[in-house]
Structure 1
Amino acid sequence: MENKSYLIFELNGSRYGVEAFCVQEIFFLPELTPITDAPRDIVGVVNLRGNIVPIMDLEVRLGHRTREFQLSDSVIILDLQGFQIGIIVNQVQEVLDLVAEEVSTELLYGRKISDNSHNFLSGVAKMAGGIVMLLNAKNLVYYSDTVEALIPEKIPKSAQETEAFLATQRVFCPHATPEERAIFRLRAENLMLSTSRQDFAGLTPLAVIGLNGEYFGFELELVREFTDLRKITPIPCTPAHIIGNMNLRGEIITIIDIRSLLNLSVAGSSTNAKAMVIHVDDLVAGVTVDEVFDVMYLQPSDMRPVPAAVHSSNDEYLRGTAPYREKMMSILDMSKIITKGELIVNEEI
């Protein structure tokens, strides 16, 4: 049987696959520049080392409603006969080799999917973890108004031309907080650099935040969003680290302060603190931070053990340290902090 390799990813709770041969590269979602009069499924473009590449909202392309983008979203760049286009997904999972007998092309009432049809699916794979829908990348891209109507023949190459082109366009992700927008923009700036393609295999994406003048990093995948602290409702008879509840677009989020757990002074916390909304298993909470600095990719070899001088009752919540800017950054085990740090109030008490 003929084997085909597929890149498997998740989008809105469903699993999809696209043939790996057409995948050029993968990176976290950067700031995009919306294009006037572009098709509705094209969110915008990104300057990828001098090439302006259109980015598709795959949810809209598949006929679903659009959604708010998150810092944890990724972009998969597809290359089809020299044309590049990106698709936005929630999470990239793995590359799988599938044989023909694992793929079904009979989806509805025995009707087979023809390679020449305009269907976006080429089949479904029956796997132990559930069903994976396999996308026809060619149909997905070319049966659209996208390709020839969007990209001009002469793409601006110089930094001045690109900056002038992008300055005339609309604003990406208008509901993003200033902290989220700064991270999106930094990612876009990094992609503009004329460097060789980065290999992200084995790297750990970290969100870098500031507390009391110190840098801390933790797994980016735990971050749902960043937001300003506003209209906090105190909760009576709770420990000091429970700041209160905040209504975030109709969802009540409990805001906590992890400084005491890290042996940091609570009195020195900023009055202009932000909150990062994180999710660990079934728990959702807001954690106060002073600043949101960066998203970085950490090489495992760059992580160092926790220095003996800081070994204390809180070192179980530190995974290690790593150099960042002119200081050392502490790597937090945020999952353990939330689940085992006694920060969550038992409602039965």
Structure 2
Amino acid sequence: MYQTNKYLTFRLHESLYGIEAEFIQEIFPLPELLPIADVRCDIIGVFYLKQQLIPVLHLDSLLGSSLKECHISDYIILIQWESLPIGIVVPEICEMIEIDNEIIENAGFPENLSINDISFVTGVIQVDSEKIWLLNSQKLIRYPDSLLTLIWDLESELYARKKALEEQNYLENYQLLEGIQIPSFYALYCPHTTLEERKIFQQRASELQNIAVDSETDIENISLAVIAFGDKYFGLDLELVREFISIQNLKPIPCCPKHIIGNMNLRGQIITLVDIRNVLNLPTTPINIGSKAVVFQVNDILASFPVDRVLEVVSLKQDKMMPLSVTSFDDRVQYLRGIAPFGEQVLLVLDLPKILTEGGLIVNDRI
């Protein structure tokens, strides 16, 4: 029996890369960083997440590029490296794919990059007409001793200011931190940002820093993929997600209800595309080739549904999700596990198994 692994793919400098999904903890928009002048360990800066200092790596350091430029549209992929969380800056999140290990080839490297050490590249696969370079997240840190020393030194230096950080707002905190002889994040990595973009960067950092740390260790966390239909945000249990894909090779199925959009050939496997928007009382729009879709598996049902956007992955404590009353006037409540805060928005957490079994989507016991 063949073995597969999930990889999250992202694009950097016209090349496509994949990183093992099992080591990914969260994905969120890039916040303002405290830059690091000492670049021996490839770390460009740090930020606070739930009061913990998180070092951030830019892959340009590993890929032989001197650019390291950051943008307001960039994301942080938070991975678990040994016992530490590490952030990786990526400009474009693409899709989650599941790969048969037997199709992974030995890695060369993109011709436009010139580097000597490619030990962090585990292999390459060909998908359609494009190569995906697979990265080993546990080998991205080339100088682990320097990284650990850097973190210890920074934490020691910032410890005396911790009380001020907790008592004052983030902008004042940042002014205090600038006294640590650290160059400007914007001067180094975001030279073309506007004042409004800087405020967004700072607001993101403030929100990440001020996430409450729950002292209860027995409260289970769930990982949710955040997707959007129009201007509404929904959370989907990441354990049910097999891949995020772009819709291709879609073929209509004759004599099926309108919510059965068609079949797709996904690397030799036929996947049915089903529209769940009617069940959720959402307006429907035409499905286009190239649009995003979520491939999911619920028990023995393997299928997909289209979405307008795939935003990020978040970790949510169960007690932060508030239940909804089934007596609500909104019929879609019965298909939701609950609601949770998501920045200034509300996240509606989907009960996908119930949508499939009770939402009238199953045709002849199959989707």
TM-score, normalized by length of structure 1? Answer: 0.51
1:173 matches 2:174: no
Distance change >3 Å, CA 57–CA 6, structure 1 → 2 = same
Corresponding position of 1:288 = none
Corresponding position of 1:47 = 48
Corresponding position of 1:88 = 89
1:160 matches 2:185: no
1:202 matches 2:206: no
Contact 1:57 1:66 (8 Å CA) reproduced: no
Corresponding position of 2:74 = 73
1:188 matches 2:170: no
1:285-340 deviation per Cα after TM superposition (whole angstroms, max 9, x unaligned) = xxxxxxxxxxxx89xxxxxxxxxxxxxxxxxxxxxxxxx99xxxxxxxxxxxxxxx
For the residues of structure 2 that align with 1:36 and 1:205, how far apart are their CA atoms? 42
Corresponding position of 1:123 = 123
The residue type paired with residue 191 of structure 1 is L
The residue type paired with residue 15 of structure 2 is S
1:35-91 deviation per Cα after TM superposition (whole angstroms, max 9, x unaligned) = 232437322101111011111111122211214321111111111222111111111
The residue type paired with residue 160 of structure 1 is A
Contact 1:118 1:143 (8 Å CA) reproduced: no
The residue type paired with residue 204 of structure 2 is R
User: For 1:149, what is the secondary structure of its paired residue?
Assistant: helix
For the residues of structure 2 that align with 1:71 and 1:129, how far apart are their CA atoms? 30
User: For 2:140, what is the secondary structure of its paired residue?
Assistant: helix
The residue type paired with residue 150 of structure 2 is L
Corresponding position of 2:30 = 29
Shift of 1:195: 3.9
Contact 1:40 1:60 (8 Å CA) reproduced: no
Shift of 1:121: 0.5
Contact 2:41 2:146 (8 Å CA) reproduced: no
- Structure 2 unmatched ranges of 5 or more: 110-116, 167-172, 214-220, 232-310, 313-342, 345-367
Shift of 1:190: 1.0
Shift of 1:183: 1.1
1:142-180 deviation per Cα after TM superposition (whole angstroms, max 9, x unaligned) = 445652232017565745257344552321122222121
Contact 1:24 1:78 (8 Å CA) reproduced: yes
Distance change >3 Å, CA 148–CA 58, structure 1 → 2 = same
For the residues of structure 1 that align with 2:163 and 2:27, how far apart are their CA atoms? 23
User: For 1:72, what is the secondary structure of its paired residue?
Assistant: coil
RMSD (Å) for aligned C-alpha atoms: 3.1
User: For 1:101, what is the secondary structure of its paired residue?
Assistant: helix
For the residues of structure 2 that align with 1:205 and 1:33, how far apart are their CA atoms? 34
Q: What pairs with 1:299-310 in structure 2 (closer than 5 Å)?
A: none
The residue type paired with residue 173 of structure 1 is Y
Contact 1:42 1:146 (8 Å CA) reproduced: no
Distance change >3 Å, CA 145–CA 202, structure 1 → 2 = same
Q: Which moved more, 1:135-144 or 1:50-59?
A: 135-144
Corresponding position of 2:308 = none
1:115-153 deviation per Cα after TM superposition (whole angstroms, max 9, x unaligned) = xx9612000011115100001112211445652232017
Q: Quote the sequence identity (%).
A: 30
For the residues of structure 2 that align with 1:65 and 1:36, how far apart are their CA atoms? 15
For the residues of structure 2 that align with 1:146 and 1:128, how far apart are their CA atoms? 40
The residue type paired with residue 172 of structure 1 is F
Structure 1 runs (4+) deviating above 6 angstroms are: none
- Structure 1 unmatched ranges of 5 or more: 109-116, 207-296, 299-323, 326-349
1:180-209 deviation per Cα after TM superposition (whole angstroms, max 9, x unaligned) = 111111111111122488845114899xxx
